[in-house]
Amino acid sequence: MRAFVLTRYGGSDVAELRDVPVPRPGPGEVQIDVKAAGLNPVDFKTRDGKLRLINRYALPIVFGCELSGVVASVGEGVTRFGLGDEVFARVAKDRLGAFAETACVQEDLVAKKPASLDFAHAAAVPLAALTALQALRDELAVQRGMRVFIPGGAGGVGTFAIQIAKHFGATVATTASSRGRTLVERLGADVVVDYTTHDFAKELRDYDGAFDLVGGDTLTSAFSVVRRGGKVVSIAGVPEPTTATKDLHRGAGLAILFWFASAGLRFRAWRSGVGYRYMFMHPSGKDLDALASLVDAKTLEVVVDQVFPFAEIADAFAYLEKGRAKGKVVVTMD
């Protein structure tokens, strides 16, 4: 089968399309004929070697994090899926494998594809939507009446985060360029600050929480937007000790390293009277079932910026890395 293989860590030339053996499902696994796969910033960060401290893969490896497709066979003990089921999944972080014509995924990470979506749109859901759901529901505990700031709302995670926060009953502020304003307003954003002409830190105050998707100065400025006692959750800042223990299930060594790395950022948050949390999402078929229900109920719109054929996946990555995509970038295997 054809697969996009990471051969070594480095730039855009270290991954290539090549023929590899078809994987066979082990106990508790589902073999999926992949129809589409989503691209994410974590993919090129993995390729660049920026995540080697967290996941050090034995190379070469088929990489890619999320997919949609059709069940081709199942391993021993699988009970929730059968041949021909249309499914989607965020694959296991320690195995990857989504950028291929066939992938094997643990049963508990797989869910039935939303019936209302084609495969390309379904492949755009898992990683970004799971990230948004777990940050807003589990970390910020968003509920009706809260005010939430989500900078970078026109990106892949942001488009889901705005809608999920609105579903939970929150008032949502975001940042976007003039090009992205129409999109985020359509998705439900109540307040939109044009980051190219305005400083959101001068316009927003006393929000209950923030979900940072940008990092850098945007993250540190978000501390002043959130009320004292509130919380800022980021997926673009610096990992802190809880990241090591709760998200990565690692020991004291990594927690101490993250403690030192995040010390300055945590001090700035403390000085502003807010909590700071860096979060890694976790794959979950159960959460994907919940998201599929929201999609089929028309509560959650899936925004896809561009779809590339699998043969042009290198071009898809080049486009994604420009950082201008509104919504997700996807490749299809047809």
Q: Does the pLDDT value for residue 198 go beyond 90?
A: yes
* pLDDT for res 324: 86
Query: Do 141 and 78 belong together in one domain?
Result: no
3-state secondary structure of 13: helix
| Lookup result for tokens 């000085």 | 271
77: phi > 0 → left, psi -120 to 50 → alpha, else beta; which? left
Question: Which one is predicted more confidently, 188 or 325?
Answer: 188
pLDDT tens per residue, range 285-316:
999 999 999 999 999 999 999 999 999 999 99
Sorting pLDDT into bands at 50, 70 and 90, what band is 221? very high
Q: Which of 164, 162, 183, 155 is nearest to 40 (CA)?
A: 155
* pLDDT for res 56: 84
Question: Which one is predicted more confidently, 38 or 52?
Answer: 38
pLDDT tens per residue, range 98-157:
999 999 999 999 999 999 999 999 999 999 999 999 999 999 999 999 999 999 999 999
Query: Do 148 and 265 belong together in one domain?
Result: yes
Residue 291: inside a domain: no
pLDDT tens per residue, range 29-38:
999 999 999 9
* pLDDT for res 53: 83
CATH of the domain at 79: 3.90.180.10
Query: Do 241 and 185 belong together in one domain?
Result: yes
Residue 292: inside a domain: no
Query: Do 133 and 260 belong together in one domain?
Result: yes
318: phi > 0 → left, psi -120 to 50 → alpha, else beta; which? alpha
Query: Do 43 and 111 belong together in one domain?
Result: yes
Q: Does the pLDDT value for residue 3 go beyond 90?
A: yes
pLDDT tens per residue, range 5-31:
999 999 989 999 999 999 999 999 999
* pLDDT for res 69: 98
* pLDDT for res 269: 98
> What number of residues does the chain have?
334
Question: Which one is predicted more confidently, 323 or 96?
Answer: 96
Query: Do 153 and 259 belong together in one domain?
Result: yes
pTM exceeds 0.85 for this model: yes
Report whether 130 contacts 311 (CB < 8 A).
Answer: no
Domain enclosing residue 166, as ranges: 128-278
| Lookup result for tokens 């488009």 | 159
* pLDDT for res 46: 94
Of 262, 278, 294, which residue is a domain's last? 278
Q: Which of 109, 139, 155 is nearest to 283 (CA)?
A: 109
Q: Does the pLDDT value for residue 254 go beyond 90?
A: yes
Residue 95: inside a domain: yes
Q: Does the pLDDT value for residue 334 go beyond 90?
A: no
For 82-139, what is the HEC assignment? Answer: CCCCEEEEECCCCCCCCCECEEEEEHHHEEECCCCCCHHHHHCCHHHHHHHHHHHHHH
The total number of structural domains in the chain stands at 2
Q: Does the pLDDT value for residue 52 go beyond 90?
A: no
